Amino acid sequence: MDIPSIIHSIEASAPGEWLRTSVKALPIVESIHVLAAATVFGSVFIVDLRLLGLPDTRRPVTLVSREVLRLTWAAFCVAVLAGMLMFTANAHTYYGNTAFRLKMLALVAAGLNMAIFHAAGLRSVARWDQGAPVPLSGRLAGAIAIVLWVSVICLARWIGFTKGYDFKIPSDTHINFQF
């Protein structure tokens, strides 16, 4: 199965159909997506700032990230679920959209940045967890994460302005005009 036919079957699925035809489903799903995405950014921002030594280095890095990342992951799961529903409703317009593709790239980059920091940068954390400047690798990971998450949100907003609306009726749809 090639990608275009996968995209087509996602869009033709029952959830896709429901999201397109229900009047209130998409606005609600979208609102939840925006709220969850903003929460991901706002909470991860606290950890990234701490890596940059802001507002100070009194609170341990490990503690700041542990307490906040619960919120980040919960919000991230909600954002992904809501985002998948939005994708399902208009799969092929999202798939062909440049801002959408760049957003997915930025998301993958943010994930890689985090994974590399966890695997390598965080190993020496005992030495700089509290009251000491974070080493360059950690500060860099924090700064890169901020740039990437800001990009994700901006690119996401750009999708809404560039994807347009596709009112083309799929060829296998039968319309019954009898009321």
Give the binding site for another protein (CB under 8 A): 23-24, 27, 30-31, 34-35, 37-43, 45-46, 55, 59, 67, 71, 150, 153-154, 157-158, 160-161
Residue 118 or 157: the one with the smaller Cβ distance to another protein is 157
Shortest distance, CB of residue 62 to another protein, whole angstroms?
A: 13
Residue 53 or 135: the one with the smaller Cβ distance to another protein is 53
Residue 39 or 57: the one with the smaller Cβ distance to another protein is 39
169 φ/ψ angles, rounded to the nearest 5 degrees: -85, 130
Shortest distance, CB of residue 103 to another protein, whole angstroms?
A: 12
Task: Answer whether 72's CB lies under 8 Å from 43's CB.
Answer: yes
Task: Answer whether 28's CB lies under 8 Å from 132's CB.
Answer: no
Residue 58 or 127: the one with the smaller Cβ distance to another protein is 58
Task: Answer whether 84's CB lies under 8 Å from 10's CB.
Answer: no
Residue 120 or 154: the one with the smaller Cβ distance to another protein is 154
How many residues appear in the chain? 179
Shortest distance, CB of residue 59 to another protein, whole angstroms?
A: 8
Shortest distance, CB of residue 42 to another protein, whole angstroms?
A: 3
Task: Answer whether 47's CB lies under 8 Å from 68's CB.
Answer: yes
Shortest distance, CB of residue 5 to another protein, whole angstroms?
A: 31
Question: Any alpha helices (H) in the chain, and if so which ranges?
Answer: 3-12, 14-21, 25-51, 61-89, 91-95, 98-119, 125-128, 136-162
Q: Which two tokens stand for residue 86?
A: 């939005």
